[in-house]
Amino acid sequence: MPDVLTTTTQVDPAVAVFYDKILLKRGLPYEVHDTWAQIRNLDSKSGNTIKFRRYSALSLALTPLPQGRKPPGQPLSKTDLTAKVSQFGDWVHITDMVDLTVEDKVLTEAAELLGEQQGQTRDVLLRNILAACASKTNASHGSNGPAPTEITKKDIQGVVKALLGGNAQFISNVKAAGTGQGTMPIRPAFGGILHTDLMDDLEDVDGFIRTANYPKQEKIMQAEYGATGQVRWLMTNLAHKDEGSPDQYKCMVFGQNAYGTTTIEQGNVKNIVKGFDSGGVANPLNQSASSGWKMIFTARILNDAFMHILNVTHSS
């Protein structure tokens, strides 16, 4: 006679789901748009607008000096660029019942989420300002059909020529070839940012060098994916993308001193936590707490000739 078993069909668990208190890791994008920024701070109580100034180059003195006579000389000229700071921020509101009944450390987790939000917000704000650069071209040497085309070596060379023609300076030093197998020398380079969607197209560019084949590994930048000629590319899914048919991407390439960012001294990013015992008569029963952040920020393109945008589509 078979045993009569009592199984979970007859007696099911009161709590049918086990909750793992170790929270899953969130996927986070690289925040790279301020990699080559000039950083300037406004002194507190000094207004909300910063002024950048650039002097114009003098014209060349190609005329021989008259004997015994001085040349007429040249006046100095300058260009002033201003940027007005703005304040940004966000917060979450948590009740005491959430704190008492939920297994997670909700306020701690909220602070981490808000920190991630703040960093990505700043990166996208800066990206959108840089996307307005006046120096730009459409990729035209690809084979995928639409205008612009996919990124190619010839299009990248066109960007490099435009930057050099505008007297932009490289942002990295020469890397000599290493002794490791397969390493290649990296020439002086401009810095580029492109979207992760374009990873395969970048790899297909003639002469592309992966970071694994750089002669020296200790100077690789955050999110750096590889180099093509005289551009070293950083990759992020926060790079500029205009969705459409097809999607279009702004690949940004920078020389030195192309743009600047600024905040007000002592008014940069602040994390603000209000506990359950705060709020006075607005929180008489200690029923709520909050966590938030605020920051003051602005950015300005300082010289359109020192950066260039290459508009591209994907090859497929």
| Beta strand residue intervals within the chain, DSSP E | 38-42, 49-55, 78-84, 86-95, 136-138, 190-195, 209-210, 224-228, 231-236, 241-242, 248-254, 259-264, 270-274, 288-301, 307-312
Instruction: Tell me the C-alpha distance between 236 and 247, whole Å.
Output: 16
Q: CB burial class (10 A; 0-12, 13-18, 19+) of residue 120?
A: middle
Residue partners of 163: CB distance under 8 A and separation at least 6 = 190, 253, 255, 305, 306, 307, 308
Structural domain boundaries in the chain? 38-52+79-130+261-299, 136-258+302-312
CB distance 209 to 185 below 8 Å: no
Average pLDDT, the chain: 87
Q: CB burial class (10 A; 0-12, 13-18, 19+) of residue 109?
A: middle
Over 60: is that where the pLDDT of 216 sits?
yes
CB distance 55 to 262 below 8 Å: no
Over 90: is that where the pLDDT of 264 sits?
no
Regarding the domain delimited by 38-52+79-130+261-299, which CATH topology (the fold level of the hierarchy) does it fall under?
A: Major capsid protein gp5 fold (3.30.2400)
Q: What is the DSSP letter of 175?
A: B
Over 90: is that where the pLDDT of 172 sits?
no
Alpha helices in the chain (DSSP H): 96-101, 106-130, 153-165, 199-204
Nearest residue to 225 via CA among 211, 206, 240: 211
Over 60: is that where the pLDDT of 18 sits?
no
Token pair for residue 23?
A: 């929270």
- Check residue 34 and give its pLDDT: 92
What is the pTM assigned to this prediction? 0.85
- Check residue 169 and give its pLDDT: 95
- Check residue 197 and give its pLDDT: 97
Over 60: is that where the pLDDT of 3 sits?
yes
- Check residue 78 and give its pLDDT: 93
Pairing verdict, β 288-301 and 259-264 = antiparallel
Over 60: is that where the pLDDT of 314 sits?
yes
- Check residue 177 and give its pLDDT: 59
Instruction: Tell me the C-alpha distance between 280 and 272, whole Å.
Output: 17
pLDDT in tens, 159-171: 999 999 999 999 8
Over 90: is that where the pLDDT of 236 sits?
yes
Q: 93 or 27, which is more confident?
A: 93
Residues above pLDDT 90, as percent of the chain = 55
- Select, from the ranges 44-53, 66-75, 202-211, 283-292, the one with the highest average predicted confidence (pLDDT): 202-211
Q: 104 or 247, which is more confident?
A: 247
Question: Could you tell me the end-to-end alpha-carbon distance of the chain, in angstroms, rounded to an integer?
Answer: 67
